[in-house]
Amino acid sequence: MKLAIVGYGGMGAWHHENIRARIPEIEVVGAYDIREERQEEAKKQGLRTYNTFDELVSDDSIDIVTIATPNNFHKKQAIRCLESGKHVICEKPVTMNADELEEIIEVAKKCNKVFTVHQNRRWDRDFVMIKNIVESNTIGKPYMIESRVLGSKRVLNGWRGAKENGGGMVFDWGVHLIDQILYLTDSPVVEIYGHLFSIFSKEVDDNFKALFKFENGLSAMIEVATNCFIPQARWHMSCEDGTAIIHDWSCNGTIIKLKDESELAWSDVIVYTEAGPTRTMAPRPRETTEELPLPEVTTDWSDYYRNVIDHINGKADLIVKPEQSLRVMKVIDAIFESHRTQSMIKCRI
Ligand code: NAD
C-alpha cells in the first residue's frame, strides 16, 4: 500500500521513519506540509512533495493518508481525504470535539473507507502490563486506577499552547490516558470531574486532573502535569486482593497480593503516632502478603499499522475503532464542561 503524510513535522517524520524501518507492507511515497522547510526535509528523505493539499488528495496512487497536522486541521483534512477515496489514519486527538468526529465517521461510512486514530499508546508496555493484570485477575477486581504522566518542562511549545489549534494537556496527553482507561472496560462512564490548571499558559490547560466513575463500580483518576518536580508512579492500581504499581516507562514496579486466609494470620497492633493511636493504619505483616513480578508482556507498535492493513484487506477487526475514539472525545468534552461549570458531570458514555 502507498501512503502519504500530511503535516511533515515531528510526528509526521516519526511516522515516516518508523514505517520505513518496520513495516515493509507500506511504502511511504509522499508528503505535504505548509512550511517550505518541512517540504525540503521530506524531499531530502526521498519523498515526493505536493505543492498543495489538493494536489495530494487528487493523487490516485495513494491508498492511505496519515494526518499529522495540528489538531484543528484534522477534521477538514480527514473528510477531504476520505471523499477522495483514501483510507485515513489520523493523529490524536482526532478532533476538537465529539461532534466533529461524528461528521468524519459519517463520511467514512458513506465513502466506505477505513478511518482510524493513531492511539499508539495502547502499545506502551506499562499499559499492556496493567491490562494484563486486570484481564488475568491476578489481584482481583480493580476499583481504583490512577494513571499519571508528570513532567516539569512548564512551557507548551508552539501550537500546543494555542487554543485555536487544540493545544493544552487534556488534548495532548489526556487523550492517551483516557483512551487507555476506556480500553480497560466496556462499562459506561457515569460521572466525570475535570480540574484544569493554567499555571503558565495564557490560553490552555498546562496541568490537569480528571476523575471518572464507571457503571460497574470502577473509578479512575488521570493526571497530567508540566510543573511537577517530585514524580509519582505512572500507574497505581487498587484491586480487591492487592495493589499494583508501575513507577515509570521502563516498567519498574511490583504487585503485592494478599495471601489466602491472611486476615486470620494478622494479629492486631496499635501504632502510636505523635498525636494519637491507630489500629486501622497499622503496617501489615509481610508474611500475610506475597510480592509478584509485573507480568512479562511483549508489545510491538508496528502491529498498529499492520492491523490497519489487515482491516483494509478484510482480514481483521480494526483495533482502534472510530466508535472508541468517539467515546474518548465525549469524555474530553465532559472534562471541559466540568471545568467550565465547576461541577461533576453525570453522563453515560
Ligand atoms: P509539529 O508542529 O511538529 O508538526 C506539525 C506539522 O504540520 C508542521 O510541520 C506544520 O508546518 C504542519 N502543518 C500545520 N498546518 C498544516 C496544514 N494546514 N497542512 C499541512 N501541514 C500543516 O507537531 P507534531 O508534534 O508533529 O504534532 C502533529 C500531530 O501529531 C498533532 O495532532 C499531535 O497531537 C500528534 N502527536 C501524536 C503523538 C503520538 O504519540 N501519537 C506524538 C506527538 C504528536
Ligand 1 close to Cβ of residue 40 (< 6 A): no
Q: What is the pLDDT of residue 267?
A: 72
User: What domains are there in the chain, each with its CATH number?
Assistant: 2-119+301-310 (3.40.50.720), 122-300+329-346 (3.30.360.10)
**33 Cα to the center of ligand 1, angstroms:** 10
**79 Cα to the center of ligand 1, angstroms:** 17
**Please, which residues have CB within 8 angstroms of residue 279's CB and are 6 or more apart in sequence?**
268, 269, 270, 271
**93 Cα to the center of ligand 1, angstroms:** 11
Closest listed residue to residue 281, CA positions, set 268, 263, 291 = 268
The residue whose CA is least distant from atom 40 of ligand 1 is 120
Residue 141 near residue 133, CB atoms below 8 Å = no
| pLDDT by residue, tens only, the chain of 349 residues | 999 999 999 999 999 999 999 999 999 999 999 999 999 999 999 999 999 999 999 999 999 999 999 999 999 999 999 999 999 999 999 999 999 999 999 999 999 999 999 999 999 999 999 999 999 999 999 999 999 999 999 999 999 999 999 999 999 999 999 999 999 999 999 999 999 999 999 999 999 999 999 999 999 999 999 999 999 999 999 999 999 999 999 999 999 999 876 666 677 788 888 889 888 888 888 888 999 999 999 999 999 999 999 999 999 999 999 999 999 999 999 999 999 999 999 999 9
Give the number of the atom of ligand 1 that is nearest the alpha carbon of residue 172.
34
Pairing of strands 289-292, 189-197: unpaired
Pocket test for ligand 1, best of 17, 40, 41, 69 (most atoms within 8 A of CB): 69
**99 Cα to the center of ligand 1, angstroms:** 21
Ligand 1 close to Cβ of residue 259 (< 6 A): no
Ligand 1 close to Cβ of residue 71 (< 6 A): yes
| Cα separations in angstroms, 298 against 2, 244, 246, 251 | 28, 19, 16, 12
Ligand 1 close to Cβ of residue 118 (< 6 A): yes
Give the number of the atom of ligand 1 that is nearest the alpha carbon of residue 8.
9
Ligand 1 close to Cβ of residue 11 (< 6 A): yes
Give the number of the atom of ligand 1 that is nearest the alpha carbon of residue 11.
26
Ligand 1 close to Cβ of residue 38 (< 6 A): yes
For residue 245, how far is the Cα from the chain centroid? 19
Closest listed residue to residue 116, CA positions, set 179, 30, 50, 43 = 179
Cell numbers at 63, concatenated: 491508498
- What residue type is assigned to position 55 of the chain? E
Q: What is the pLDDT of residue 262?
A: 62
Instruction: Say how far apart CA 97 and CA 333 lie, in whole Å.
Output: 6
**128 Cα to the center of ligand 1, angstroms:** 26
Ligand 1 close to Cβ of residue 22 (< 6 A): no
Q: What is the pLDDT of residue 264?
A: 60
The residue whose CA is least distant from atom 31 of ligand 1 is 70
Pocket test for ligand 1, best of 6, 15, 34 (most atoms within 8 A of CB): 34
Ranges of beta strands (E only) in the chain are 2-6, 27-32, 48-49, 64-67, 87-90, 115-117, 142-150, 189-197, 207-214, 219-225, 235-239, 242-246, 253-258, 271-273, 276-278, 289-292, 345-346
Q: What is the pLDDT of residue 1?
A: 96
**287 Cα to the center of ligand 1, angstroms:** 52
**9 Cα to the center of ligand 1, angstroms:** 5
Give the number of the atom of ligand 1 that is nearest the alpha carbon of residue 13.
26
Cell numbers at 198, concatenated: 493554567
Ligand 1 close to Cβ of residue 174 (< 6 A): no
Q: How many CB atoms lie within 10 A of CB 200?
A: 13
